[in-house]
Amino acid sequence: MSISKFKKKYKHISTYKKIDLIIKEKLKVIFKNQIKILEFGVDKGISTALFLEFCEDLNGSLYSVDTIDYSNHFNNSKWKFLKCRDDDYATINKNVDFPVDIIFLDTEHTPNHVEKIFYHYFDKLKKGGIFIIDDISWLPYQKNKKRNNEWIENNNKQTFLKILDIANSNEENIKLEFIFLYSGLAIITKINNKLNSPKKINSREYSPKNILRKLIKNK
């Protein structure tokens, strides 16, 4: 199927809307020519179609990785599909021309997996490059919301907190932004090549002083 047909078919889908927004409002402002994008997770090909169109505009290259064979989605010289896991490092290193400008992660959304993939591929991202992590918002999955799902609600919140822990120890190495449109995105810009281990945020929410303040306020 052509890119235009993919876009027409899926333009009403939330994934399309948020990726299209990021490309138009952020990526097109930053990147001007010959970009390289590494995409983890293809499925219907919604993000793939949008990234591929972006690569066509900027004479770039898109590498897409998934465990299911989606190689028949597109026939395009700017696109290379790899049938493997996102942590099959040997296969990916062999087939991707690193470093890349953009990495998009939309495979397994558990906090430990997101951390593992982010830390492994951070070195393979150009300085000034962007790492995008999908599905970081738990808000649409709360009880009585349209997407009501307790497991996804809890998982996405834990992934969100994990990303905050990473940012907490890397204030000089990365710039972190969140978008809470639909299921959300984390947008991480690489400032330095160094990356420290995550550091838990020491919340004072349950400190004796804060508990006392709440008790007095609720009297």
Q: What are the pLDDT digits (tens) for 87-97?
A: 999 999 999 99
Mean pLDDT of all residues in 110-126: 98
Give the pLDDT mean for 35-41: 98
Domains held by the chain: number: 1
pTM: 0.93
Q: Does the pLDDT value for residue 112 go beyond 70?
A: yes
CA of 74: how far to CAs of 6, 18, 39, 106, in Å? Answer: 10, 21, 14, 19
**143: how many CB neighbours lie within 10 A of its CB?**
8
Task: CATH number of the domain at 111, please.
Answer: 3.40.50.150
- Give CA torsion, residues 81, 85, 86, 87, to 10 deg: -140
**Mind spelling out the 3-state secondary structure of 24-40?**
HHHHHHHCCCCCEEEEE
Q: Which of 113, 206, 194, 141 is nearest to 214 (CA)?
A: 206
Q: Where residue 61 falls among pLDDT bands split at 50, 70, 90?
A: very high
CA triple 155-161-165, angle to 5 deg: 140
Q: Can you give the residue range of the structural domain that contains 57?
A: 3-217
